[in-house]
Every structure is written in structure tokens, then in C-alpha cells.
A = this chain, B = another copy of it.
């Protein structure tokens, strides 16, 4: 009996799922955050926690672990040393395949068939599998990339709120709410910024979306521009040969209605989730550990 372990190692938490060779789910587990930015050792710990929990919940014993083929999708895989560090770690599985978080989301969304995905949450990225090729667009991180993401929405909204505070533009309900949130004090905004990361900026995204939906004259063009950026990511994937595309991530349901009509028409609902994709990855590339990719 061969078992398949799929792991989705993300910035906020890590999830694992085990299935048998007929695709039946046997167990699942969770672990802490595994973003490569917080350090590879912690990421590996989160992966092992989630995997052990999944193995336990599947009722597998110590002797079964050697018959597991694992697939890991991890965010920030293009960070220096991450792939090497994961490959060198002595995971106990029969085989291990490693890919980006976007790659497993894409495999899951299209059940291994050709297709593209655009993930829009705290960050944004486009990814497609077309034949033997993979296409990656964006997703390099905030602030140099991740256009149209929650962090991007938040940054733009804060910028414009300061413009309104300065009298460069007129205040709107959104800019007023944001400035009031900092008690109107520039010093508080600066102190917040000094420690803010992408996740902190993205916390403003729901507020921006709410105001945009009510026609706030500052929020509306911010969301329209974000939608244009996401449109562009989708169109690049379609132009590069992806037959369809799925919009995924925390902001997807809210941004969907703002996309161009022609783009919305080409979108499909994902067929499976990222964990299903990680399991597909394990099946696709069941190489011995030494040759893991």
C-alpha cells in the first residue's frame, strides 16, 4: 500500500492531508506558519507537526511512514536557500516533491490538467501549467510586487488618507475612517508604518472594499486599479496558453465582481484545493528523496 501526503505550508498555517492510492482521505493535520521569511527551521517544524498529526489521524503506524509519498507546497520558495534546505532535511518519506504554494494550488484547481490560477489575498500571484511549462507572474512580495493584493489596497488607501489629511485631496468617508483610526495623529501613523508588514497593510483591505462598494470616491478607484492589475495577471496566463483560470485567495470573492466582464467569463471555479494539489504533486513526481524536486 502506498500513501500520499499533501502539505500546504503557508504563511499563516500549515495543513497536511493523507490519502490512499484511490484518492480516499485517511487523515489530516495542522501546524504553525511556515513562510520561508520567518526561517527555514520553523517552517520545517510546522511541516513536521502538520504531517505527524495527519499520520496519527490516519491511524498509520511508524512502519507505514516509509511508504508515504509526500508533496509539499510552500510559500516563498524562490527565497535563497529554501529549496536546498528542504531537500537536505531528512524527511522520513519514500519520496518527496517540493513546489511553490501557487504550484500546488494550480494542480488542485485543475486536478493536474493545464490551467492557470491567480491568488489574491495578502499578496497576489499568477501561476499556470501549460503542457510541460510553468508560467509565474508576480508574487515577488510587497512592496515591489503583489499588485492588486490586500497589502497593495491597504497601502494605497493609507497613502491617500494622508493626502486628504494634508489637504491635497478632499476627505471621503474612507480617508476619514482611516485617519480617525490613528487618532488623526501623523506620529501614530509613522510609528505604525515603522513596524508594519504586508499582513498589517492587508488588514485595511476589507475596509477599502466596503467603502468602494458604497461608491467612496477614493476607495472606488483604488479597487478599480487593483482589479485592473488582477485582470492583467489573468490575461497574461490566458495569453500564455492556459485554457482557463481560477481566481483564489481571501480577497477573490470580493474582487471578482470588479474584474472586466471579458475576464470574468474566462474564470472557472477550482475543482480541488491546494492540499489536493499537493497530493497530485506527490503522485506526479514520486522520485526517491535524493532526486526530489
Residues of A whose CB lies within 8 Å of any CB of B are 37, 76, 78-80, 136-138, 140-141, 143-145, 147, 155, 158-159, 162, 166-168, 186-191, 193-194, 232-233, 236, 240
Contacts and interface: CB of A to CB of B under 8 A. Distances in A.
Contact of A167 (B144, B186, B240): B240
B143 A143 contact: yes
A144 B158 contact: yes
A140 B190 contact: yes
Given A138-B166, A140-B189, 8 more contacts: A80-B187, A80-B188, A141-B193, A144-B158, A144-B159, A144-B162, A167-B240, A168-B236
A193 B144 contact: yes
A101 to B, nearest CB: 14
Nearest to A169: B232
A290 B167 CA distance: 34
Contacts of A187: 78-80
Contacts of A188: 80
A236 B163 CA distance: 11
A74 to B, nearest CB: 14
Contact of A137 (B143, B144, B167): B167
Nearest to A161: B144
Contacts of A186: 78, 140
Top 3 nearest A-B pairs (CB, nearest first) are A137-B166, A78-B187, A144-B158
A144 B140 contact: no
A154 to B, nearest CB: 10
Nearest to A193: B144
A140 B162 contact: yes
A188 B194 CA distance: 24
A236 B144 contact: no
Given A138-B162, A140-B190, A144-B159, A168 B232 contact: yes
Nearest to A145: B162
B194 A37 contact: yes
A144 B138 contact: no
